[in-house]
């Protein structure tokens, strides 16, 4: 699906089903430097369960026109424009990593559209090491290597191979997309207040072996959200929706059906 927001083309994968107004809509938000592709094992599953699904490419990512947005706050405002254009109600936000920060800030500013939230492999604060930001800003491929080292527990488990190498392929991808995202994550400071303000049903899915958004920080995040549920996936690193796609999907479905 393609729409136009502020004279820019925006792509969202909808599992080929479009939007049916009578259904709840699950919106999947990808992490830093990535695209809708990371949700490929998830979107068709939920489409078959009678949900609308939208895996959105942020500006400058995947098939959406750039430039990238340089703050989490700007991305939250942009998401509202997308949802308004599509006339969406009863939204279920599912964010991974940076997508968790976006879902968090969106819930703080625009909670009226939200029905439920699922945070996958995230925290309310995501400080990024200065060395990683410097490498990414310079378009250095070592930035991707470092991300893979810290972010992923078992790349051999990935169906079709590690998605990061396939999505972030050039110095330009690193400097103009990944670096912008990492700085946005590093600079976001409203997470604690936003988490305390959440008033809709919320699920946290955390990876036992996640090094990028570690289990301790994930638990602290969950403790800030009233009446939330937490599920820990054993043996999973940061890329939960690929490393443990089937287990993650079932737990989200169980939560949505409550």
- What is the CATH number for 30? 3.40.50.1820
In a domain, 118, yes or no: yes
In a domain, 129, yes or no: no
What's the mean per-residue pLDDT of the chain? 91
In a domain, 220, yes or no: yes
Task: Report the pLDDT value the prediction gives residue 187, as an integer from 0 to 100.
Answer: 98
- Integer angstrom CA distances of residue 245 from 52, 129, 149: 19, 28, 20
Cβ proximity of 209 and 157 under 8 Å? no
* Residue 66 domain boundaries: 2-124+189-256
Lowest pLDDT segment from 123-137, 141-155, 198-212, 236-250: 141-155
Task: Report the pLDDT value the prediction gives residue 154, as an integer from 0 to 100.
Answer: 53
Give tens-digit pLDDT for 81-90.
999 999 999 9
In a domain, 149, yes or no: no
For residue 159, pLDDT over 60 is answered with no
- Segment 226-247 shows an average pLDDT of 92
Higher-pLDDT residue of 147, 244: 244
For residue 172, pLDDT over 90 is answered with no
Q: Cα–Cα distance between 17 and 76 in angstroms, integer?
A: 25
Can you point out the beta strands (E) in 84-238?
91-96, 114-120, 202-207, 229-233
Q: Which residues pair with 119 in a beta bridge?
A: 95, 204
The string of DSSP letters for 211-258 reads: TTTTHHHHHHHHHHSTT-EEEEETT--S-HHHHTHHHHHHHHHHHHT-
- Segment 149-165 shows an average pLDDT of 59
Number of domains in the chain: 1
For residue 66, pLDDT over 60 is answered with yes
| pTM strictly above 0.85 | yes
Write out the H or E segment, with its range, that includes residue 28. strand 25-29
In a domain, 178, yes or no: no
Task: Report the pLDDT value the prediction gives residue 160, as an integer from 0 to 100.
Answer: 57
Give tens-digit pLDDT for 15-29.
888 899 889 999 999
In a domain, 115, yes or no: yes
In a domain, 179, yes or no: no
In a domain, 144, yes or no: no
Residue 147's pLDDT band (cuts 50, 70, 90)? confident
Residue 96's pLDDT band (cuts 50, 70, 90)? very high
Task: Report the pLDDT value the prediction gives residue 155, as an integer from 0 to 100.
Answer: 45
Task: Report the pLDDT value the prediction gives residue 171, as an integer from 0 to 100.
Answer: 86
Q: Cα–Cα distance between 47 and 230 in angstroms, integer?
A: 24
């Amino acid at each position: 699906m393609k729409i136009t927001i502020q004279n820019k083309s925006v792509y969202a994968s909808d599992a080929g089903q479009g939007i049916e107004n009578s259904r709840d809509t699950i919106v999947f938000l990808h992490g830093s430097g990535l695209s809708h592709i990371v949700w490929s094992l998830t979107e068709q599953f939920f489409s078959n369960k009678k949900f609308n699904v939208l895996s959105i490419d942020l500006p400058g990512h995947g098939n959406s026109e750039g430039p990238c947005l340089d703050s989490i706050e700007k991305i939250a405002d942009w998401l509202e424009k997308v949802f308004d254009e599509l006339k969406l109600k009863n939204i279920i936000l599912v964010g991974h990593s940076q997508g968790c920060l976006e879902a968090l800030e969106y819930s703080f500013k625009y909670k009226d559209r939200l029905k439920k939230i699922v945070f996958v492999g995230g925290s309310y604060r995501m400080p990024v090491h200065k060395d990683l930001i410097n490498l990414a800003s310079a378009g250095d491929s070592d930035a991707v290597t470092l991300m893979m080292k810290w972010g992923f527990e078992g790349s051999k488990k990935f169906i079709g191979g590690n998605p990061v190498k396939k999505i972030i392929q050039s110095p330009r991808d690193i400097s103009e997309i990944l670096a912008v995202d990492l700085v946005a994550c590093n600079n976001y400071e409203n997470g604690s207040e936003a988490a305390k303000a959440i008033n809709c049903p919320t699920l946290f899915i955390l990876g036992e072996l996640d090094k990028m958004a570690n289990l301790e920080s994930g638990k602290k995040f969950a403790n800030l959200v009233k009446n939330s549920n937490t599920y820990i996936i054993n043996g999973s690193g940061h890329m939960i929706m690929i490393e443990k796609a089937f287990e993650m999907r079932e737990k989200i479905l169980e939560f949505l059906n409550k």
